[in-house]
Chain A
Amino acid sequence: MHPIAERIQQKFPEGFLKAVEWRGDLAVTVARQSLHEVAKCLHDDPDMDFDYIVHVSSVDWPEEEERFEVVWEFYSIRKRHRIRLKTRCSESDCEVDSLVDIWKGADFMEREVYDMMGIRFRNHPDLRRILMPDDYNEGYPLRKDFPLQGKGWRDTFEFLNERQ
């Protein structure tokens, strides 16, 4: 196993779920409860030193019980290594800890994940929609059950019928 994954497993034997290394990328899945402390350790531990946040993303797996997968990607400027940290949450309770207090850049990225997939971030300072309009009420566009053409809101635009 990758030394970083091993270290996480040692420090958080309960929180650590699995580590996958594929095409040179290391992805570590942790339990939702221990997400924040693992992230804190990744940032503060001088051996890991992940000071740079790359992106926050989410994947929807509708047929699985824990439907949403939230993904953070970190990089270490000094050590020059990467890690992808993942956690799962179910649709009925889709809330994970926010990491804004550790990486300030996570603010907008987590807002985007909330906007696009409806995953809530606990302790996020300003969890609002960011790309879609504030009053958008058709749900979350990047979920797999959201049709590509939208749910009909666009058909209600007045300018579409102006020509007739």
Chain B
Amino acid sequence: MPLEDQRSTVYKVADPEHPGSASLPTLRTEELLLNMGPQHPATHGVLKVILELEGERIVKATPVMGFLHRGVEKLAEDGTYHQFIPHTDRLDYVCAMYNNFAYCRAVEKLMNLKVPERAEYLRTIVAEVQRIIGHQFWLGTQALDIGAMTVFFYTFRDREILLDWFDELCGARLTTSWYRIGGVERDFTPSLVGKIRLFLDYFPPKIDEYVVFLEKNRIWLSRTQGVAVISAEDAVNFGLSGPTLRGSGVDYDLRKYESYGAYPKCEFSVPVGKNGDTYDRYWIRILEMKESVKIIRQCLDQIPEGPIMADVPSVTLPPKDRVFTNLESMIQQFKLFSQGFDAPPGEIYCGTEAHKGELGFYIVSKGGGKPYRLKIRAPSFIHMGAFDHMSRGYMIADAVTIFGTYDIVMGECDR
């Protein structure tokens, strides 16, 4: 029944057996306000949405955000460029590596730094591993929210392998801070290369395994197909990015069109959807995992020997072993952390295709060692801007699907 007809329905209580009942007042219908969150298992953190409901249909949704606001942009103005790297881990805490990458790239653009080729490859490999983790995490939690619990265990089982790999790489599973301005913190060991190669053989059949659970699952299909539909035009107008935008058929991927890292040397395709619904976005993420496997494999085959850090002593950190043995390196390290390097006055914007969408940093420098202004373009925040538009007319239960379809993380949304 169309929404307007439902609204005008008045339920008259008239029973011929009981004369006088016709004079009973007619039942009142009105819109119901429902607070969803901030404490709700399916809101992916502390997000509150005020839903105006007509029966079970959403008439209007007003997101209330900021419960996790920590003033990261203000903190950035108070520290040196190097000191901000650990803060970026805490933006999108599911995918710390990609945040590091996006930030380091922005600072390198500001400083006009050229990163050595080996470092570019290392960065690309780790970024793609992070993308796989992000998509696994998304798939698991989205299916869990919708009611298909099994997939969660499978994706988290495989995610664990990669997190352990991160642990071996940099000593942390989630808040990694492995990227450095001008390069990376340390090189792969042969054991790491061996493990990731094993994973590349192990993983593609597992993707098919995830799909088996979902492709014939009627609940999954009926709750994702035709839910949270957004047209290509609207998606672009709202500034959506990543799989959320590509699901609507817009071919926009910075890895391809403003290529960086080792992506230009790799062959991969950008999957694009047709219907702009949750199901298309799900399928894009599945395909992207397969593409990531391809990219990592190509990078591992092509990776050259060489330094992993740009040799610009005024900006980049000295190698750690030299810091402990060499006086000049120690002074350089101390200076870089206490005063920072002298950035030229100017402003840049640098966007990077993280697995959620375009993660960008807009940095204004006035000279000196600290950013004058640092603005984070967080995809989760911008996607929430389209929430009202995308949720109108759907059921309350679909609200959960729609948060999920953005792959929202509140650490990044509220900053």
Contacts and interface: CB of A to CB of B under 8 A. Distances in A.
Given A131-B69, A142-B74, A54 B349 contact: yes
B363 to A, nearest CB: 10
A148 B109 contact: no
Interface in B357-406: 358, 360, 362, 364, 372-373, 375, 377, 381-382, 384-386, 389
A80 B65 CA distance: 32
A76 to B, nearest CB: 10
Nearest to A23: B348
Overall SS of chain A's interface: mixed
B362 A71 contact: yes
Interface string B46-83: 00000000000000000001100101011101100000
A12 interface: no
Contact of A73 (B110, B252, B362): B362
A73 B385 contact: no
B408 interface: no
Given A57-B362, A108-B384, A141-B71, A77 B236 contact: yes
A115 to B, nearest CB: 8
B250 interface: yes
Contacts of A73: 349, 362, 377
Nearest to A112: B381
Interface string A127-154: 0011111000000011000101000000
A141 B71 CA distance: 8
Interface in A56-111: 57, 59-60, 71, 73, 77, 80, 82, 84, 103-105, 107-109
Interface in B72-124: 73-75, 77-78, 109-110, 112
A23 B109 contact: yes
A142 B371 CA distance: 13
B236 A57 contact: no
A23 B110 contact: yes
Contacts of B250: 77
Contacts of B237: 51, 53, 103-105
B362 A52 contact: no
Contacts of B73: 116, 142
Interface string B2-42: 00000000000000000000000000000000000000000
A10 B392 CA distance: 43
Interface residues of A, number: 35
Contact of A105 (B65, B110, B385, B415): B385
A54 B351 contact: yes
A112 B362 CA distance: 15
A104 B382 CA distance: 11
Interface in B151-209: none
Interface string B270-310: 00000000000000000000000000000000000000000
Contacts of B351: 54
B39 to A, nearest CB: 17
B239 A52 contact: yes
A59 B362 CA distance: 11
Contacts of A23: 109-110, 112, 346, 348
Contacts of A54: 239, 349, 351, 358, 360, 377
B311 interface: no
Q: Which of A77, A103, A131, A148 has the most CB of B within 10 A?
A: A131
Given A71-B362, A105-B238, A146-B74, 18 more contacts: A23-B112, A23-B346, A25-B347, A27-B347, A53-B238, A73-B377, A77-B250, A80-B257, A84-B349, A104-B234, A105-B385, A109-B382, A112-B381, A131-B66, A141-B71, A141-B74, A148-B74, A148-B77
Interface of B: 65-66, 69, 71, 73-75, 77-78, 109-110, 112, 234, 236-240, 250, 252, 257, 346-349, 351, 358, 360, 362, 364, 372-373, 375, 377, 381-382, 384-386, 389, 414-415
